[in-house]
């Protein structure tokens, strides 16, 4: 029995981000937090060094103080009918705040929206044809991780385009990216997208963690069984086209029964001082999610490492161009 490994082509990537002629279109979602400010700084570097087109979204979160449905609708209607001047005033405030933060003038269009942040961000990204969402990512304590379903986690559960979640400590484009590589299409897409976001002369490490549990034979694991990890890495290396002096290496990490995949990957990220983790976001069955957990959700809830999450491509899923 033979297995043909087809490396995902550019057409599999979210809105063809790998094509130089297609500019990166970024939706920067702001909430006034320090991680959000760091996301703005990273976005500025994408604009200046990668020619990204940037749109800014400021959200007025309606969740802390519940608004009765009739009042919620009334506010939206009033804002649409009478609030043009108020909207312009708010937009000027956001723009001037950004310019003070970044230390330079920016001409990014600003939108002010009312609602649940994750829903508003995803809706705006789709409407604006964004190819990347940038948001702030804050650290959560153990209790908060167990009880709090934050905005970034909600976005990642539903997004159809890549999301760059930036911690407060991240101020520049990443220079060392660790890609969680399971050889699925999503993880290879994550490596490709990460290459477009890296600083010049950086290093990308493709990290494979041997799973402690296996639920059937998945796409990437089937490749590994047929070709072996080394040959699989060789195929992935051949499919990537690094530029800007970026070097790519790889590593095999041993998973254990006492430490899940996310913990094993996180230990390696810390050991090499990587400043970004790139993951392909796949959907999990209930049993796998209960025993193994979602690696992407684990990194999101912990919030100590900047994260690039690239959703698995589903040809039936709506996109901004559909």
> What pLDDT score does 101 carry?
92
- What is the pLDDT at residue 229? 86
Q: State pLDDT tens for residues 6-34.
A: 443 333 344 445 444 567 999 999 988 99
Residue 74's pLDDT band (cuts 50, 70, 90): low
The confidence score (pLDDT) of residue 141 equals: 58
pLDDT score of 289: 43
115-168, pLDDT tens digit by residue? 889 999 999 999 999 999 999 998 765 544 444 457 898 998 889 999 999 999
Residues whose CB is less than 8 angstroms from the CB of residue 228 and which lie 6 or more positions away in sequence, other chains included: none
- Using CA atoms, how far apart are residues 16 and 22, in angstroms rounded to an integer? 7
CA atoms within 13 A on the CB side of 48: 14
Query: Is residue 69 packed enough to be buried (19+ CB in 10 Å), middle (13-18) or exposed (0-12)?
Result: exposed
Q: Is the pLDDT of residue 320 over 70?
A: no
- 10-311 architecture in CATH? 3-Layer(aba) Sandwich (3.40)
pLDDT number for residue 25: 96
What's the half-sphere exposure (Cβ side, CA atoms, 13 Å) at 227? 19
For the question of whether the overall pTM of this predicted structure is more than 0.85, the answer is no
Model confidence at 286: pLDDT above 50: no
Give me the helix-helix angle, 34-50 and 185-197, nearest 10°: 80
Q: By the 8 A CB rule, do 266 and 193 touch?
A: no
Comparison of pLDDT for 2 and 238, the residue scoring more: 238
Question: What average pLDDT score do residues 277-297 get?
Answer: 64
For 230-258, how does the pLDDT look when each residue is reduced to its tens digit (9 = 90+)?
Answer: 889 999 999 998 988 999 999 999 876 66
120 burial level (CB within 10 Å; 0-12, 13-18, 19+): buried
Check whether 58 has a pLDDT greater than 80: yes
Question: What is the pLDDT, as a whole number, of residue 270?
Answer: 96
Give the chain's mean pLDDT. 79
CA-nearest of 306, 285, 303, 307 to 294 is 285
pLDDT: which is higher, 269 or 140: 269
Q: What is the pLDDT of residues 171-211, one digit of tens each?
A: 999 999 999 998 888 899 999 999 999 999 999 999 998 76
Instruction: Decide which of 144 and 290 is more confident.
Output: 144
Give Rg (Cα) of the chain.
20
């Amino acid at each position: 029995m033979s297995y043909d490994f087809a490396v995902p082509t550019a057409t599999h990537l979210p809105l063809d981000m790998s094509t130089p002629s297609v500019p990166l279109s970024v939706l920067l979602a702001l909430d006034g937090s320090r991680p959000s400010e760091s996301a703005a700084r990273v976005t500025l570097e994408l604009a200046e060094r990668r020619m990204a087109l940037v749109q800014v979204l400021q959200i007025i979160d309606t969740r802390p103080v519940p608004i009765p449905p009739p009042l919620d609708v009334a506010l939206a209607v009033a804002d649409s009918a009478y609030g043009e001047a108020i909207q312009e005033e708010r937009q000027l405030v956001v723009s001037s705040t950004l310019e003070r933060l970044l230390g330079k003038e920016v001409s990014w269009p600003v939108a002010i929206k009312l609602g649940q942040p994750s829903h508003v961000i995803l809706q705006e990204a789709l409407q604006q044809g964004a190819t990347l969402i940038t948001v702030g990512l804050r650290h959560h304590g153990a209790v908060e991780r167990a009880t709090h379903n934050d905005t970034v986690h909600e976005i990642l559960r539903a997004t159809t385009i890549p999301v760059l979640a930036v911690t407060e400590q991240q101020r520049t484009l990443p220079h060392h990216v660790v890609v969680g590589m399971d050889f699925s299409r999503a993880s290879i897409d994550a490596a490709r997208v990460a290459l477009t976001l890296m600083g010049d002369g950086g290093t990308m490490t493709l990290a494979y963690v041997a799973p402690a549990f296996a639920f059937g034979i998945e796409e990437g694991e089937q490749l590994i069984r047929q070709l072996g990890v080394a040959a699989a890495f060789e195929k992935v290396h051949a499919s990537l086209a690094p530029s800007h002096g970026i070097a790519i290496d790889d590593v095999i990490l041993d998973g254990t029964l006492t430490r899940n995949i996310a913990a094993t990957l996180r230990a390696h990220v810390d050991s090499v001082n990587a400043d970004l983790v790139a993951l392909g976001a796949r959907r999990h069955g209930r049993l796998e999610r209960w025993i193994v957990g979602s690696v992407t959700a684990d990194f999101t809830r912990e919030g100590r490492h900047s994260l690039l999450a690239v959703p698995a491509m589903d040809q039936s899923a709506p996109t901004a161009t559909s």
